[in-house]
């Protein structure tokens, strides 16, 4: 694992943005794995700015998002479809048909999970996966206890995740309790992974990710088994790491 310590959120976002830009410049038709949440917002802003200035183009890029809430229409302001559209896709030169997210309102979720997993494979797999980190060590929506070889699946969200994500909803009762998520097995197939982490609330989870036992109780600890992971984290998040 390569660890890059930044002074704050802004620097973390800037470095992540530069890393993604370099990757897109090296491979114009790259397959990017994307994440939602507060953590990557600054990186998306920076990528949008650079795209507007003509310094990077997403015309040939294909994206796959990690997860989506079950039961939320793509137009729902709390859906991850909506998040990606508002925070990234609508501002850049990417082709809409090249952006992919799991369908949160599928008729048959078993089929949907298989479809998504196969779609990623059929496009050649993910070259660079961006990840955030849950306070309980979750990656995407793979909660503690998730199998390390899990494919795209339907999952029940942990109470800690419902609590953490309630800030985006009117009340905690409105937070969907299930999601469809790329599995840990799917994520580990990515050729390169960048984990972005900011803030003291993630310090314990990040310390376990880097130095803890590799265990399904801490989903992110699986990253110790991947050969090409870069962690870009600010000082507050790395507080418990020497």
Catalytic residues: 67, 136, 138, 143
Helices of type H across 137-225: 159-165, 184-188, 203-211
The answer to the question of residue 36 lying near ligand GLP (CB under 6 A) is yes
Q: Could you tell me which stretch among 10-18, 32-40, 47-55, 225-233 binds ligand GLP (CB under 6 A)?
A: 32-40
Selected binder of ligand GLP within 39, 62, 79, 136 (CB under 6 A): 39
Question: Of 66 and 92, which has the nearer Cβ to ligand GLP?
Answer: 66
- Least spacing, CB of residue 180 vs ligand GLP, in Å: 11
Residues in the chain: 242
What φ, ψ does residue 198 adopt, rounded to 5°?
A: -140, 140
The residues in 144-163 that bind ligand GLP, with binding defined as CB under 6 A, are 161
65 is a contact residue toward ligand GLP (CB under 6 A): no
DSSP codes joined into one string, 103-158 = -TT-S-HHHHHHHHHHHHHHTT--SEEEE---TTS-BTTB-TT--TT--SEEEEPP
> Does residue 103 belong to the site contacting ligand GLP (CB under 6 A)?
no
Residue 188 engages ligand GLP in binding (rule: CB under 6 A):
no
Closest CA relative to residue 155, chosen from 139, 174, 168: 139
35 binds ligand GLP (CB under 6 A): yes
Q: Residue with CB nearest ligand GLP?
A: 132
Nearer to ligand GLP, 107 or 219 (CB): 219
Q: Of these, 13, 88, 141, 222, which contacts ligand GLP (CB under 6 A)? A: 141
Alpha-carbon distance values, 236 to 11, 36, 163, 217, 233 (Å) = 13, 21, 21, 23, 8
CB atoms within 10 A of CB 86: 12
From the CB of 27, what's the least distance to ligand GLP, in Å?
A: 24
Binding positions for ligand GLP, rule: CB under 6 A: 35-39, 66-67, 132, 134, 140-141, 161, 165
């Amino acid at each position: 694992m390569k660890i890059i310590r930044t002074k704050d959120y802004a620097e973390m976002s800037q470095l992540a943005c530069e890393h993604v830009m370099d990757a897109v410049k090296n491979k114009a038709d790259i397959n990017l794995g994307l994440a939602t949440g507060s953590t990557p917002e600054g990186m998306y802003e920076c990528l949008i700015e650079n795209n507007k200035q003509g310094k990077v183009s997403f015309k040939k890029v294909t994206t796959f998002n990690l997860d989506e809430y079950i039961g939320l229409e793509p137009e729902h302001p709390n859906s991850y479809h909506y998040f990606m559209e508002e925070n990234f896709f609508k501002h850049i030169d990417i082709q809409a048909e090249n952006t992919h997210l799991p369908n949160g309102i599928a008729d048959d979720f078993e089929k949907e999970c298989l479809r998504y997993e196969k779609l990623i494979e059929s496009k050649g797999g993910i070259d660079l996966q961006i990840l955030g980190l849950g306070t309980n060590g979750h990656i995407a929506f793979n909660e503690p206890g998730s199998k390390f070889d899990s494919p795209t699946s339907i999952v029940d969200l942990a109470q800690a995740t419902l609590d953490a994500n309630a800030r985006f909803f009117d009340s905690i009762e409105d937070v969907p309790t299930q999601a469809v998520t790329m599995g840990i097995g799917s994520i580990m197939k990515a050729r390169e992974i960048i984990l972005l982490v900011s803030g003291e609330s993630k310090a314990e989870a990040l310390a376990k990710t880097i130095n803890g036992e590799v265990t399904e109780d801490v989903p992110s600890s699986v990253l110790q088994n991947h050969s090409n992971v870069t962690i870009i984290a600010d000082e507050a998040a790395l507080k418990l790491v020497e």
